[in-house]
Amino acid sequence: MTNAIATSSSSTRDEAPFMTALLPRLKATAAGPTWLAELRREAAAWFSAHGLPHPKEEAWRFTSLRPLSRVAPSLVPARLSTGTLPAGVTLSKLDAAEGRLAQLASTHHAFAALNTALFEDALVIEVAPGRVVEAPLEIAHFARASARATLSLPRVIVIAGEGSQLQLVERYCAEGGTSLTAGVTELFVEANADVEHVRVLDGAPSAYNISITAVRQARDSRYTSRVATFGGALSRLDLRVLLDGEGAECTLDGLYLAGDDEHVDHQTFIDHARAHGTSHEKYKGVLQGSGRAVFDGGIAVRHGAQQTNAHQENRNLVLSDRATVNTKPSLVIDADDVKCSHGATVGQLDPAALFYLRARGIGEAGARALLAFAFAREMTGRITPPGLRRELVQAVLERMPEGRLLAAEDDV
């Protein structure tokens, strides 16, 4: 260990076990075809030089990486599994992603750089132009328990051709044992294409998931993201959507739950780069025990992106006085003919509603559970595949205080 530090030429922060464990890998010859090797070298150099983000960086102010920096992980294969491949979806070779890979997820982001430098295998998903894929495509990543701390780097590229339609369900699960998953998913939504992207993260104690989803939308395309994050020692998602063609529309929905010793962090950024774009964003969170949540919602409306319509909402329900929420909307508007609005709330259960339920015979615990579930239900209700919706409802109930008191009926 001491030797590794002595030979490292980087800054002192690299002395953290995390960097020490990874530096030899980052110095090794970059694998893959020439175009990729070039990207990997650049990413490795950037990450080696910068290391883990500093707590003073704005994007990491409320999310501490100190526990993670003490972990010395070993790289394990990311093992992304796909469900049955629906008709119309092609899994392509990595070369099909040349010119696209790492174009949306910046290599100047620690975890994107780490992934680009070291990912072992990427899933390249293509939908041919005009193709309407009827069944949802499921992809899953499972961080398995291991005696040693593990690092896995799932990498996904989705290219939805012009006028195509796809529903993608992406899942991250973890079991006990210390693990870091740093996934990168890049989606190219071509002109007039329509992608609905459900992302479910089921966290576990000692499971760190710090992932990036980056989307580029061409003209008249639709992208709908539905994020459900259930706890985790640290579950962080950076979701960036670039509306890079006129008339593009995106919807970003999110539901997050955090309980004791759990920390969830959602950083979304919607970049309205062209005119006539629309974005709707709504994230809701339920906090219990010593749970912590961070929401940072950035919206930029670039010069010339006239007739932009952007709406953002972040609502938090705090069920414990030990829970913490940091919510920060930030809008930067450089066009003059736009409609933008945002709102953030952090609140508790409505005492008037609680009394109303109790005055009808519903016990206090059941009334609290019902109201908390009703708050979350707005978001699960938007999940369209019925099987998945029921599964998420069940997951929410299991994580709610007294959720077992409620019937897991669809009609709650």
Partner 1 sequence: MSAPMLQIEGLFVEVDEKPIIKGLDLELETGAVHAIMGPNGSGKSTLANVLAGRDGYVVTGGSVRYQGRDLLAMPAEERAREGVFLAFQYPVEIPGVSNLYFLKAALNAVKKHRGQDELDAMDFMDLAKEKMKLVEMDAALGQRAVNSGFSGGEKKRNEIFQMALLEPKLAVLDETDSGLDIDALRVVASGVNALRSAERSMLLITHYQRLLHYIEPDQVHVLVDGRIVATGDRYLAEELERSGYADYEKQAAQRSEASA
CA 99 to chain centre: 23
φ, ψ for residue 390, nearest 5 deg: -60, -40
Binding status of residue 256 toward partner 1 by CB under 8 A: no
Binding status of residue 394 toward partner 1 by CB under 8 A: no
The 199-218 contact track toward partner 1, x by CB under 8 A, reads --------------------
Q: Give the residue with the Cβ less far from partner 1, 337 or 356.
A: 356
Q: How far is the CB of 259 from partner 1 (least distance, A)?
A: 20
Binding status of residue 363 toward partner 1 by CB under 8 A: yes
DSSP labels, 359-389: TTT--HHHHHHHHHHHHHHHHHTT--SHHHH
Binding status of residue 401 toward partner 1 by CB under 8 A: no
Binding status of residue 393 toward partner 1 by CB under 8 A: no
Q: Give the residue with the Cβ less far from partner 1, 321 or 411.
A: 411
Round to whole Å and give the CA distance between 86 and 98: 24
Binding status of residue 321 toward partner 1 by CB under 8 A: no
Q: For residue 296, which amino acid is it?
A: D
Q: Give the residue with the Cβ less far from partner 1, 88 or 285.
A: 285
Binding status of residue 409 toward partner 1 by CB under 8 A: yes
DSSP labels, 221-282: -EEEEEEEEE--SEEEEEEEEEE-STT-EEEEEEEEEE-TT-EEEEEEEEEE-STT-EEEEE
Shortest CA distance to 150 belongs to which of 170, 172, 177? 177
Site for partner 1 in 101-140 (CB under 8 A): none
The helix (H) or strand (E) run that includes residue 173 is strand 165-174
- Single residue of 328, 377, 382, 389 touching partner 1 by CB under 8 A: 377
Contact 124, 160 (CB under 8 A): no
Round to whole Å and give the CA distance between 226 and 237: 12
Binding status of residue 390 toward partner 1 by CB under 8 A: no
Contact 201, 185 (CB under 8 A): no
Q: What share of the chain is helix, strand, coil (3-state, %, to 5)?
A: 25, 40, 35
Binding status of residue 371 toward partner 1 by CB under 8 A: yes
Binding status of residue 375 toward partner 1 by CB under 8 A: yes
Angle formed by the axes of helices 34-50 and 17-27, nearest 10°: 150
Stretch that binds partner 1, among 2-10, 251-259, 326-334, 373-381 (CB under 8 A): 373-381
Binding status of residue 357 toward partner 1 by CB under 8 A: yes
Round to whole Å and give the CA distance between 108 and 203: 26
Size of the site for partner 1 (CB under 8 A): 27
Round to whole Å and give the CA distance between 277 and 146: 46
Stretch that binds partner 1, among 288-296, 299-307, 327-335, 355-363 (CB under 8 A): 355-363
Q: How far is the CB of 313 from partner 1 (least distance, A)?
A: 14
Binding status of residue 408 toward partner 1 by CB under 8 A: no
Stretch that binds partner 1, among 108-116, 126-134, 167-175, 363-371 (CB under 8 A): 363-371
Q: Give the residue with the Cβ less far from partner 1, 99 or 386.
A: 386
Binding status of residue 389 toward partner 1 by CB under 8 A: no
Stretch that binds partner 1, among 63-71, 77-85, 272-280, 351-359 (CB under 8 A): 351-359
φ, ψ for residue 337, nearest 5 deg: -120, 75
Q: Give the residue with the Cβ less far from partner 1, 172 or 373.
A: 373
Binding status of residue 83 toward partner 1 by CB under 8 A: no
What is the bridge-based pairing of β-strands 80-82 and 137-143? antiparallel
- Single residue of 358, 382, 389, 390 touching partner 1 by CB under 8 A: 358
Binding status of residue 362 toward partner 1 by CB under 8 A: yes
Q: Give the residue with the Cβ less far from partner 1, 55 or 363.
A: 363
Q: How far is the CB of 344 from partner 1 (least distance, A)?
A: 18
Buried b or exposed e, range 201-212, using 16+ CB within 10 angstroms: bbbbebbbbbbb
Contact 379, 255 (CB under 8 A): yes
Q: Give the residue with the Cβ less far from partner 1, 141 or 284.
A: 284
Interface contacts to partner 1, rule CB under 8 A: 350-353, 355-364, 366-367, 370-371, 373-375, 377-378, 407, 409, 411-412
